[in-house]
Structures are given as structure tokens and as C-alpha cells.
Amino acid sequence: MNYLLLVAGFILLIKGADYFVDGSASVAGKLRVPPLVIGLTVVAMGTSAPECAVSVAASFKGDNAVAISNVIGSNIFNLMIVCGACAVICPLAVKAKVLKQEFPLSVLATLLLLGGGALGMEIGRLDGLVLLLVFLAFLVWVVRQALKSREHENVAEEIKVQSGWLCLFYILGGIAAIVLGGDLVVDSATAIAEDFGLSQTLIGLTIVAMGTSLPELVTSVVAARKGQVDMALGNVIGSNVFNILLVLGLAGVISPMGVLMENLIDGIILVGMSVIVWIFAWCRKEISRTEGMIMIAVYAAYMGYICIR
């Protein structure tokens, strides 16, 4: 029964995020927001909603190991698999602005998490509040960038603009499905972990992390196939920033989260992988197909490591 609930939860998460992104992106299209900004904000927020639902639900239930592991695991999956798969489909051209601003910010967010977690081995309410304040500053900065650039860039033509009522239905229906799906995933994944004697950290890093990252994978791959590499890359970077600053910030404020040594190790691995991808992108201002395959191989090796440790 737990397996059926897990599958049902993932379906609700994926479809809910899909409708939420469609509705939100349509609203953004009406406002003529550039593709990169859509990826960093609207699409990133929509595809990060499953992580938010799972981690916040886990925090309410006291399953904090799932919350932290889910976010770190999702960010590693986003960076190596989502970016890697997109690069294999279509080499990802990376703007200098992304390399100098958005990418370093995603690394900084991880370092903030590691610093807060290493001090006292927990993400307390004060740590969560700091993460949320940094997130608000990030949001204000992105909006200001959007206002400056909206006169010089056009919204991607592929974005389908819906009627106002349909947008509202998609957004509210998507949020409802995401919340319900997140609750089902936390309950069923925790039960399965206990049945097999597996740690919550391992479940959070694998099954839950991959499942909640499927919206990012689908959205970014579709964007890459349409040639909207700005939206694809913006989605990944934005989602990773949202996951740490907003998701763990909210979870920490709701209930202090104990940090395991494995969480710190995985966080350091995430920083290392971020640096590798950053170097790939910096060399030729793009991530090539070969580099995309290398990223996927590195993730496969990481999966092997966490399964045997």
C-alpha cells in the first residue's frame, strides 16, 4: 500500500507542478518578463514546490533528516542530471551574467547552509530566518533585474498565454496537488525506509530527492529541446537557490532541524560539483554534450557512493 501511495504522491507532485508552472508562466508572459528571469523565478518556484511541500511536511512531522537530505539530494540531481541531460540534448550556452551572478549565488546559498549546520549541528529558527531574509533579498534583486531588462528582451514565444481565470485555476489546483502529494510522499517514503531498515538520510537523498526533482528535469529538458537554454539553466539555478533559502528556511523556522555529518559531507560534495560545472561553463561559455555526459557519469558515481557508505 505504501508503494501505491508513494507513486500517487509523485504523480500529484509532478502534475501539480506542471499546472502551477503553466499558469504562473502564462501570467509572466502577460507581463513580458525575459526567459532567464522566468526560469529563475516563476518556473524555479513552481518546480521547487514539490521539494517545499515534502520538506515542510517532513518538518511538521519531525522527519527532519528527510527535509535536509531531500533538498541536498535534489540540488545535486538538478545540477548534474538536469543540466547534464539538457546539455546532451542541446549544448547549454551560458551568459557571462549567469557565471558572475546567479551561479555564485547558488554556491553561496549552499555555503550558508553548511555554515549554519556546522555551528551546533542543526538548522535552528534563527538560521532559518537568516535563509529566508537572504531569499527575500534575492527575490527583490531578480525583480529589479527584470524591470530593467523587460524593455530590451521579449518573452519566449513558446510560452502559451492563457486566460486569467484559467491561469488562476492552474495555479490554485497545482498548489493543492503539490501539498497533498508532498504529504503522501513523506508518509510513504518514511514507512518504506523503516520496513527495509534504511536511514531517512538515504531515502531523502535517493527516492524522495529524485521524485521531487522530476518537474525540474521535465521542464528544463522541454525548454532545451525548444532552444530556450536560458529558461532551462535559469530553472536549475533558481530551483537550487529556492530549495536552500526558501524551503530549508521555512522548514527551519517551523521546527529546528538536526544536521547529520552525512548532510555536511553531501553539502560539500554539492559545492564541489557546482565548482566543476562552473568551470565547464566558464571555459567556453557553454556546457557541451561531452561535459553533459561527464556530469551524468559523476552523478552515477555519487549514487554508488551513498548506497554503500
CA-wise closest residue to 52 among 103, 101, 13: 13
CA-wise closest residue to 99 among 305, 222, 279, 293: 279
Whole-number mean pLDDT of the chain? 79
Does residue 295 have a pLDDT over 80? yes
Does residue 28 have a pLDDT over 80? no
Does residue 187 or residue 116 have the better pLDDT? Answer: 116
pLDDT for 31 equals 62
pLDDT band at 152 (very low <50, low <70, confident <90, very high): low
Q: Which three cell numbers stand for residue 171?
A: 495555479
Q: How far apart are CA 25 and CA 29, in angstroms?
A: 6
Each residue of 123-144: b (16+ CB within 10 Å) or e? bbeebbebbbebbeebbeebee
Does residue 186 or residue 130 have the better pLDDT? Answer: 130
Q: Which are the contacts of 7, defined by CB distance < 8 A and separation ≥ 6? A: none
Does residue 155 have a pLDDT over 50? no
Q: How far apart are the first and last CA of the chain?
A: 29
Q: For residue range 48-78, what is the model confidence (pLDDT) as tens digits? A: 777 777 777 777 776 666 678 878 888 998 8
pLDDT for 130 equals 93
What is the mean predicted confidence (pLDDT) over 112-133? 89
- Are 233 and 98 in contact by the 8 Å Cβ rule? The answer is yes
